[in-house]
Each structure stands twice: as C-alpha cells, then as structure tokens.
Amino acid sequence: MFYSNVENFKSATGYEIDGIWYPRVTSIVSIKAKPALYKFYADQANFAGAEAIKNKSAEEGTILHETVEAILKNEQPAIPDSVAPAVTAFLDFKKQNEIIPHQIETRVVSKKHHYAGTMDCLAELNGQLGVLDIKTSYAIYRDYGIQTSAYVEALRENPSMPPLKRWILRLDQSRHCIRGCGSKMREKGGNIKIRPAKGVAASKCPHVWGELIGEVELRELPDIEKDTKAFLACKDLWIWENEYWLKQIFRSK
Ligand SMILES: [Zn+2]
C-alpha cells in the first residue's frame, strides 16, 4: 500500500478520536492474506477490469448495506430497484425475528489494545444482545469472525456491558435456473458468477435464469477467544508492516 505522507496514512488507515489517532479494525484485518482474491483476479481479463468489477461490486454492497441500516433506524428509505429482492428478504427476516437495534454504525474504541472501528449494529436479536454485522457477500467467510471479535473485545472494556453474541447477517440476491437443475447465478459489479448445483444434470443444463430472488442467512459465530487472538495477531503484523508511519505518528508524543 502506498501513502504519500503521514496525514494520508492516518486518514486512510485510522480514526482520530478525542485527539488520539487509532488504527481502524478493517485496516488491521486487511493484513491477512485472502487467497480467494487471487482466483478472482486470475479469472478476469486484466487487472484494471478486475478492479472495476471489485469497486462496482463494493458500491452495490454499500447501497444494500445503507438501505438495510436505514430500515433498522426506522427511517423509510427509498429502496433502489437494484437491491429490492435482497431488501424484501431482509424485511421478511425482520418480521420473523425480533430485532431491537441499540446502536447503528457506532464507533467503538479499544483503549486497552489501541484500535477503533465502526460496528454495523449492536442489537437484541430474539432476546439476546450482540454485535450484528451485515455482509453482502457470496458466503460467510471465517475472516468475519476476526473483524467482529474486535468490536466485541472493544465493547467489553465497558464494565457494565453484558456478555455479547456475534452474528453475521448475510444478504444477497441471485437468479435460480428455472429448468430446475438447482444452479444459481449472481451478477455483481457486472461480473456473472454461476454456482452450479452438484450433479450431472446441472453441468449439462442449458440454464434459463429466472427472477432475482433475495436471500438472508443468519449465523452466530462461536469461539470468540480464538478469533480475538487472531485479530490481535493481525494487529501485531499490521504494526510491523506500518512501522515507518507509526514511528512518525507516535515519535512526537
Ligand atoms: Zn439449469
């Protein structure tokens, strides 16, 4: 990663809170290698094209994310057509589950470990309090455990905070093959990805894609201690990687 100067580094990788600069959870977590990303890049025509897809896809994810958070805040947001199936699936989920948001898009700070982050939501879900992280990805990846453990670890520094659960709420939308082979197709950032159903029938099927259908997946993440340990290991590595800039930030203090 290239930073032009220390101010650029500070704003790109952290937050200034009450005059103190803290590295950001998502920046720290990004230090971990993501092998699946190599495959994505290799599958594209060229690097610039891959970057364009990745950015467009992130933008689409942001629209869905913002719409859902606005709904959680009891606002009545306009629902963009592009994400309407996923939002509808979320509204169904909200009807079937009791969800009481306490904090949305809130900055959390660990003074003990010196980092900060913005968590999506601290909520009561069916009577249990926890950190709810909204993802708009293809699957629920293990890396999400590292990110969410950082929020819980920071919240735990408040002595009156009760024990917290962690959940990933994954929202997505895809088209199903109407010939009934069980395959799904999803388009993100203009990139078409087909997830074939297992079996010979699916590989031979001349798929015909139906309407976009929204999907919701809720998963509770176990093993917080393991994830917290992995997060703090990421943080150590992140500090090593950024030593040049961190020395400039903390030298003067
Ligand atoms: Zn098919």
Q: What crossing angle do the helices spanning 224-241 and 243-251 adopt, rounded to 10°?
A: 80
Residue-range definition of the domain harbouring residue 23: 6-251
Within-domain flag for 1: no
What is the token pair recorded at 210? Answer: 């139906």
Within-domain flag for 79: yes
Ligand 1 centre and the CA of 82: distance in Å? 23
Ligand 1 centre and the CA of 44: distance in Å? 24
pTM above 0.85, yes or no: yes
Ligand 1 centre and the CA of 190: distance in Å? 21
Report the pLDDT value the prediction gives residue 240, as an integer from 0 to 100. 97
Ligand 1 centre and the CA of 199: distance in Å? 11
Q: What crossing angle do the helices spanning 243-251 and 6-13 adopt, rounded to 10°?
A: 110
Number of domains the chain contains? 1
Q: What angle do CA 5, 8, 9 make, to 5 degrees?
A: 85
What is the token pair recorded at 190? Answer: 């203009």
Within-domain flag for 155: yes
Ligand 1 centre and the CA of 84: distance in Å? 24
Neighbours of 170 (CB within 10 A): 21
Q: pLDDT truncated to tens, each residue of the chain (253 aa)?
A: 789 999 999 999 999 999 999 999 999 999 999 888 888 899 889 999 999 999 999 999 999 999 999 999 999 999 999 999 999 999 999 999 999 999 999 999 999 999 999 999 999 999 999 999 999 988 899 999 999 999 999 999 999 999 999 999 999 999 999 998 899 999 888 888 898 888 777 788 999 999 999 999 999 999 999 999 999 999 999 999 999 999 999 875 5
Closest CA to 62 of 105, 102, 31, 22: 105
What is the token pair recorded at 138? Answer: 């293809």
Within-domain flag for 29: yes
Report the pLDDT value the prediction gives residue 188, as an integer from 0 to 100. 86
Within-domain flag for 144: yes
Within-domain flag for 85: yes
Within-domain flag for 241: yes
Ligand 1 centre and the CA of 139: distance in Å? 21
Report the pLDDT value the prediction gives residue 136, as an integer from 0 to 100. 93
Report the pLDDT value the prediction gives residue 193, as an integer from 0 to 100. 87
Q: What is the CATH number of the domain that holds 44?
A: 3.90.320
Within-domain flag for 230: yes
Report the pLDDT value the prediction gives residue 187, as an integer from 0 to 100. 87
Ligand 1 centre and the CA of 178: distance in Å? 7
